Homo-oligomer: A and B are copies of this chain.
Amino acid sequence: MKRNSRLSLALHTLSHMAGEPDRVRTSADIAAHAGTNPVVVRRVLGRLREAGLLTSEKGYAGGWRLARAPESISLADVYLALDESLITTDTGDHAPSCSVEHALHRRISSVMAEIEQSLIDRLGETTISEVRGT
Contacts and interface: CB of A to CB of B under 8 A. Distances in A.
B132 A90 contact: no
B104 A115 contact: no
Interface in A74-114: 75, 85-94, 97, 101, 103-105, 107-108, 111
A94 to B, nearest CB: 3
A75 to B, nearest CB: 7
Chain A interface, >50% SS class: helix
B90 A107 contact: no
A108 B131 contact: yes
A58 interface: no
Interface in A1-33: 1-5, 7-8, 11-12, 15-16, 33
A51 interface: no
